[in-house]
Amino acid sequence: MLRIAVPNKGSLSEPASAMLHEAGYRQRKDSKELVLVDSDNQVEFFFLRPRDIAVYVGSGRLDIGITGRDLLLDSGSEAEEILQLGFAGSTFRYATRPGTATDVKEFGGMTIATSYPGVVAAHLADHGVEASVVRLDGAVETAIQLGVADVIADVVETGTTLRNAGLEIIGEPILHSEAVVIRRTGADPEDPKVQQFLRRLQGVLVARRYVMMDYDIRVENVEAAIALTPGLESPTVSPLHHEGWVAVRAMVPSKGAQQIMDELYDLGARAILTTGIHACRL
């Protein structure tokens, strides 16, 4: 049985379970459940604190896990990213009160509060800056107001929390994070159980990002039309009973599908339909 770590709380928890459910796996009904066996699919899910997941996977106790790239890097565990999941996207950045500093290089001798001390210490070392790092569990933005730190380093999504705390961003993002699937560094990349799990999640990603587009078009315009809808490999072009016309079927990114439909219409395509993809294996 494949043993998989899933976040039990926080920003990653709900979208991770939703994605697993879409991929055909059983998910827990009660948020107090810690372990769930999906015998039909031969997997066992362990619902763990997001911050602990890289530790379990890095130790080899669990085969794979879903966590945030920032948490993986901060843990320093012997685990690596094998698939990006496209949710819980954020940047990790420094911020401070206006007037404190304008560049990381000015942080020397200051105190930096963060929930990610591993990431921050490594970043400061890379920039040759000697500063103290104070680890806090959350609500890090308040640390400056309460005099615990001069600078914070924290997750930024919309920037609203920083603005509300009267803080301004300093420098470029320390990293870009999103939810990722991880496994132990050096684990067998060909493991068929892991490969099947990844194909299922990739199927969900594709089903979320693409729609199927069908349309009819005159033969002489088909080349111009398929330039707009090249598909992932190659579009299907089938003859129609109506002479001089063909039917085209191709996957197109759902973002921008309406614009493609407008352009196809202008090219003379008709009966242009898009349908959602429920699941797929490429």
Ligand X SMILES: O=P(O)(O)OC[C@H]1O[C@H](OP(=O)(O)OP(=O)(O)O)[C@H](O)[C@@H]1O
Ligand Y SMILES: Nc1ncnc2c1ncn2[C@@H]1O[C@H](COP(=O)(O)OP(=O)(O)OP(=O)(O)O)[C@@H](O)[C@H]1O
Q: Considering CB distances under 5 to 8 angstroms, the limit depending on partner class, which of ligand X, Mg ion, ligand Y, none binds residue 154?
A: ligand X
Residues between 190 and 229 that touch ligand X (CB under 6 A):
none
CA 272 to centroid of chain Cα atoms: 32
Contact call for residue 141 and ligand Y (CB under 6 A): no
Which of 1, 9, 60, 102 binds ligand Y (CB under 6 A)? It is 9
What does the alpha-carbon distance between residue 217 and residue 264 come to, in Å, rounded to a whole number? 9
Residues between 188 and 217 that touch ligand Y (CB under 6 A):
none
Beta bridge partners of 253: 210
Q: Considering CB distances under 5 to 8 angstroms, the limit depending on partner class, which of Mg ion, ligand Y, ligand X, none binds residue 231?
A: none
Nearer residue to Mg ion within complex by CB, 174 or 261: 174
Tokens of 30: 């009660």
Which of 17, 41, 114, 177 binds ligand Y (CB under 6 A)? It is 177
Residue 11 CB, shortest distance to Mg ion, in Å, is: 7
Largest Cα–Cα separation, the chain: 79
Contact call for residue 139 and ligand X (CB under 6 A): yes
Which of 24, 60, 109, 138 binds ligand Y (CB under 6 A)? It is 138
Find out whether 54 and 12 touch, Cβ atoms under 8 Å: no
Nearer residue to ligand X within complex by CB, 10 or 231: 10
Contact call for residue 230 and ligand X (CB under 6 A): no
Interface with ligand Y: number of residues (CB under 6 A): 15
> Residues 130, 133, 139, CA angle at the centre, nearest 5°?
145
Nearer residue to ligand Y within complex by CB, 156 or 247: 156
Contact call for residue 11 and ligand Y (CB under 6 A): yes
Least Cα distance to 178 among 104, 73, 63, 95 occurs for: 73
Q: Considering CB distances under 5 to 8 angstroms, the limit depending on partner class, which of ligand Y, Mg ion, ligand X, none binds residue 71?
A: ligand Y
Contact call for residue 74 and ligand X (CB under 6 A): no
Q: Considering CB distances under 5 to 8 angstroms, the limit depending on partner class, which of ligand Y, Mg ion, ligand X, none binds residue 70?
A: ligand Y
Contact call for residue 146 and ligand X (CB under 6 A): no
Contact call for residue 8 and ligand Y (CB under 6 A): no
Residue 165 CB, shortest distance to Mg ion, in Å, is: 14
Find out whether 141 and 162 touch, Cβ atoms under 8 Å: yes
Footprint of ligand X (CB under 6 A): 138-141, 154-161
Footprint of ligand Y (CB under 6 A): 9-12, 50-51, 68, 70-71, 88, 90, 138, 155, 157, 177
Footprint of Mg ion (CB under 5 A): 138
